[in-house]
Amino acid sequence: MLFIEINNVSSTLAKLNYYNNNLIVMSNLRIGSKTSTRSISRKKNKKGAGKKTTSFEDVNLLLKIAELHNTNYDFLASEWFWSKLHKDEIPESIDEFESKFPQGSKEFQLFERFTSRFELAGLLIKYGFLDENFYFDRYGSLQKEWEKAKPIIYGIRKQWNSPHFRENFEILALRGKNWTESHLSKIK
């Protein structure tokens, strides 16, 4: 029994070390570096003027984010969220959510893990570490994710007296909506 617990602790510490190292690498992509001399140019749609360039730093950062959320736990969290969404089983209030999935339950943790990826992306975009056009072109506007998570997140903010809980996810969703409205579909 003790051997199993030590292995679990070792595994958890290894994962934390992996995440911390990746976050450090992601932050170092911008800190102290000049803008990459190589970039990928792409034309903006008819509503936008001029050209926008996406640097290889943006590409590397997006790939690092994808790698950071490429764990079995993340797949489980995504699978849980999307299966509940498609079956219309995501509660529409924090009270209903907690009656089905109390704090500390596996499902509550999966919800937090699923929404944390958007919190991180919103934070990186807000501070200019990641190009939002590049992000939304890859992941879309996140409107379904936000609309289903919103009542639960608002409830958690109120319960925990934490008005900033997942605010970068909310900002990301607002920016995603604006991005979708200002970008024409590439396929007609």
Give the count of alpha carbons within 13 A of 115, CB side only.
Answer: 26
Q: What is the pTM of this model?
A: 0.70
Residue 37 tokens read as 């001399």
What is the predicted pLDDT for the residue at 17?
A: 54
Per-residue confidence (pLDDT) for residue 11, from 0 to 100 = 52
What pLDDT does residue 14 have?
52
Spans in the chain with pLDDT lower than 50: 1-3, 5-6, 9-10, 12-13, 16, 23-24, 26-27, 29-51
Strand-pair category, 39-43 with 51-55: antiparallel
Displacement of CA 4 from its chain's centroid (Å): 32
For the chain, domain boundaries: 2-28+53-182
All residues at 6 or more sequence positions from 68 whose CB lies less than 8 Å from its CB, including other chains: 19, 22, 23, 26, 120
Q: Identify the pLDDT of residue 146.
A: 97
